[in-house]
Amino acid sequence: MILFKNVTRDVYSEKELYVLGTNAVLKAYGKNSYDAVNEAEKVLYDIDKNMSIFRSESEVSKVNKNSGISPQRVSSETFYVIKEAVRYSRITEGAFDPTIGPLVKLWGIGTSHECIPLRSDIDKALHLVNYNDIVLNETEKTVFLKRKGQSIDLGAIAKGYAADMVCKIFRKNKVSSALIDLGGNIYALGKKSDRSLWTIGIQNPFSKRGTFAGTIKVKNKSLVTSGNYERYFVQSGVRYQHIIDPRTGFPSTSSIVSATIVSDTSIEGDGLSTGIYILGLDKSIRIINSLKNVDAVLIDKNAKVYVSSGLKNNFALRKN
């Protein structure tokens, strides 16, 4: 689905597209907004082509097919995203782990074959998950997974990288005000056209879509949420959601049901949001407080909302 609204060609352009497994909306204000949005669209499709695990010819799929066999040469973009993914794995003590592929495939959450797998299959897949088995060669730009059957899934970080790339294109085209929304992975560039701050809603994880738990006012910030409402299935009254804990092989059961990271770059927000979601409140708060220019809104199972100190003046709680 592609919809192009270019109201007054040089003032405002908006485009909706399906990319990276999600609905994306690009809204840009400014003289070059039409060209900027078109250029961004192309770049988004390229990122999808290189990094999707749903495309058998993508660079990531090739790395996965060659696991335990041979290093695979990739573009510097894909190399960078995998390298950053390893960095966020370390920061989140392995909660975020891009080698989660075998477990994601086994659970199939959000696909037609979603199910609770056999314990023995979970153990087998779990054994293959370890970001320390990613061998990166910076000069050759190759990626190698040490063991056969291992696979990389960049679903928890690629959208963040993509939002940063769109932002870069917009800035290059002198777009001074824009909202980049890649399926809830948001970058608010500059201020709104009326010079006020952008107001971004955080989905209430206990209410229907479009109901907000709170709002944040920002400029030049990325907001990325990992939430239990994104993709899940329910069996015998239990909800199994799409973020898998690499320590157990099961969907995360931490105290957090929604983790929003507010940061300067979206790759950082995306990488952190998934790990933070898994780690639970205490550890997550410690990690957030240790990082510069990173803030968070965390919602726990009891609907308690934790807001990091840097957001105190910009966050407003919503009573629904």
Count the residues of the shown chain that bind Mg ion, applying the rule CB under 5 A.
4
Site residues for ligand AMP, 135-174, by CB under 6 A, read 153, 155-156
Q: Which two tokens stand for residue 20?
A: 């990276």
User: How near is the Cβ of 122 to ligand AMP at its closest, in Å?
Assistant: 14
Residue 97 binding ligand AMP, by CB under 6 A: yes
Instruction: Say if residues 218 and 198 touch (Cβ distance below 8 Å).
Output: yes
Place of tokens 């993709």: 231
User: How near is the Cβ of 73 to Mg ion at its closest, in Å?
Assistant: 26
Q: Which is nearer to ligand AMP, 30 or 101 (CB)?
A: 101
Count the residues of the shown chain that bind ligand AMP, applying the rule CB under 6 A.
18
Distance between CA atoms of 258 and 53, rounded to whole angstroms?
Answer: 25
Going residue by residue from 124 to 163, which x/- string records binding to Mg ion, judged by CB under 5 A?
--------------------------------x-------
Residue 296 binding ligand AMP, by CB under 6 A: no
Please select the residue that binds Mg ion; options are 164, 181, 270, 295, rule is CB under 5 A.
270
Going residue by residue from 248 to 277, which x/- string records binding to ligand AMP, judged by CB under 6 A?
----------------------x--xx---
Alpha helices in 128-265 (DSSP H): 158-172
Instruction: Say if residues 135 and 147 touch (Cβ distance below 8 Å).
Output: no
> What does each C-alpha distance from 265 to 119, 133, 175, 286, 293 come to in angstroms?
38, 27, 17, 20, 10
Distance between CA atoms of 232 and 257, rounded to whole angstroms?
Answer: 12
Going residue by residue from 5 to 44, which x/- string records binding to ligand AMP, judged by CB under 6 A?
----------------------------------------
User: How near is the Cβ of 152 to ligand AMP at its closest, in Å?
Assistant: 9
Q: Which amino acid, 255?
A: S
Closest-CA residue to 22 (of 159, 153, 173) = 159
Distance between CA atoms of 145 and 134, rounded to whole angstroms?
Answer: 5
Q: Interface residues with Mg ion (CB under 5 A)?
A: 156, 270, 273-274
